[in-house]
Chain A
Amino acid sequence: MAILEVTNLTKSFGKTKVLKGISFQLEKGNVLSVIGSSGSGKTTLLRCINFLETADGGKIVVDGDTIFDSESDVKLSKKQQLEKQLKIGLVFQDFNLFPQYNVLDNVTLALKIRAKERPDFKKNKKQIYAEIEQKALALLKKMGLSDKVKNYPCELSGGQKQRVSIARAMALEPKILFFDEPTSALDPELTGEILKVIRELAEEHMTMVIVTHEMTFAREVSDYIVFMDDGIIAEEGKAEEVIGNPKTERLKAFLSKISD
């Protein structure tokens, strides 16, 4: 069964239709890359699925749970909405780390805030915080940042910042992790370390959706590729086929422009 089902998603800003009915599915443990020129709607798609924008129409189902349905009359409280949102994690293009917290606190902040709602929080505060920190340290170790846990974001390189932000998103154990052009804000020589981390996550069968410009990487790491053009999915399929053997003129044009 698909872990992510997006059906007929639409979004307009004023009179501009940015998403004109997007539908796709993603199987658990698979990696999907969304490619397309700027203005094609790929970032809006990602922002709608992450609730940073509210879609005008359509339906989003994650792991059998409907997290958005424009037809539904069921009104969710803000709290319930946030809970549903947490099934999805997001890594931003420009990291958006919290500058006043060190690396460890960036990763633990949301977990610690959430822990306060646990009924046993007052009784077991110390133990709960210790567990959260253990978990964060393990994630940071995996990201190769064990020696940076006490550093502040301003003391890190772009690649390190992005790895912290991946750890921060992973800490909430999302079912699907989204990346919004994770290497676009990095110097070319730093993109490698992020791509390596994503590749490792893919090997562990983390379900991921990556909006990216890195064609070679997309081809290598993704199971599926969706090519967006002017608010619709113009072409989709297995990574090899879509990039290696494009069918539509638009995609051919896009790929040749990218490789120049």
Chain B
Amino acid sequence: MSFSTVNSELFIGFFENVKLFGITLLFALPLGLIIAFGSMSKFSPVKLLTRGFVWIIRGTPLMLQLFVVFYVPGLLFDIRFPGSNPRMTAAAIAFVINYACYFSEIYRGGIESIPKGQYEAGQVLGMTKTQVFFKVILLQVIKRIVPPMSNEFMTLIKDTSLARVIAVADIIMVAGKFSARGIIWPLFYTALFFLVFCGLMTVIFGRIEKRLDYFKA
């Protein structure tokens, strides 16, 4: 087995990880904001329901959630995931929900840490609540949540390999197939993929932090 064959197969596997990573962020980042507003709602049924949901998602293993999303719709309602890759769809749904809940708490922490005076200043200047949020609050929140978010992004890329429990052919699964044939080194070699990816992420987040360094909030 040549190095380049192993390499190219691992790349194909890693592409699945990156795909899951991308889809999760695309949907979980906005969904997390909605959940954050739900858990800050002044209408207590909404608040309690949202917080209960976040508790369940954060309180159970992601691996279990993958099984639930993949098997339960079929077992209970005979529903199959549409599309050419139902396993990836199921994994994406589980990841989006799981990460949206974690993001929501980061957002909530960020939003609640902005001093009340910022809202009041916006209000006395005649801005509506929505205008205050988007024009005044949001960028300050983003600045504050960059460090915890970078943590989540790094955890996410590594978590994506959990999707192999529902047979998404991720990099670890590909490497596992090599091990089954007695070639063990690719399994350890996968670390390099994650390391490089996380290294890149560190650089990007560093840039973002620097870009937002021009103001103090």
Contacts and interface: CB of A to CB of B under 8 A. Distances in A.
A and B associate in one complex: yes
B124 A89 contact: yes
B121 A98 contact: yes
Contact of B127 (A113, A165, A168): A113
B126 A109 contact: no
Given A98-B118, A99-B140, A90 B128 contact: no
Interface in B168-200: none
A216 interface: no
B120 A172 contact: no
Interface stretch (B6-14, B42-50, B62-70, B131-139): B131-139
B127 to A, nearest CB: 6
Contacts of B115: 96
Interface stretch (B81-89, B93-101, B102-110, B209-217): B209-217
A259 B140 CA distance: 41
A135 to B, nearest CB: 15
A110 B215 contact: no
A86 B217 CA distance: 27
A113 B131 contact: yes
B126 A99 contact: no
Interface stretch (A9-17, A77-85, A243-251): A77-85
B121 A99 contact: no
B126 A110 contact: yes
B118 A82 contact: no
Nearest to A93: B117
Interface residues of A, number: 30
Interface residues of B, number: 22
A129 interface: no
A50 B125 CA distance: 11
A113 B123 contact: no
A94 B115 CA distance: 11
A152 interface: yes
Nearest to A78: B128
A154 B215 CA distance: 6
A208 to B, nearest CB: 15
A51 interface: yes
A101 B115 CA distance: 16
Contacts of A254: none
A51 B126 contact: no
Contacts of A152: 214-215
A100 interface: yes
28 contacts: A51-B123, A52-B120, A52-B123, A52-B124, A82-B127, A82-B128, A85-B123, A85-B124, A86-B126, A88-B124, A89-B124, A90-B124, A92-B117, A92-B121, A96-B117, A96-B121, A99-B216, A100-B139, A100-B140, A100-B143, A109-B125, A110-B122, A110-B126, A110-B127, A113-B127, A152-B214, A153-B215, A154-B216
Interface of A: 50-52, 78-79, 82-83, 85-86, 88-90, 92, 94, 96-100, 109-110, 113-114, 152-154, 165, 168-169, 172
Interface of B: 115, 117-118, 120-128, 131, 135-136, 139-140, 143, 214-217
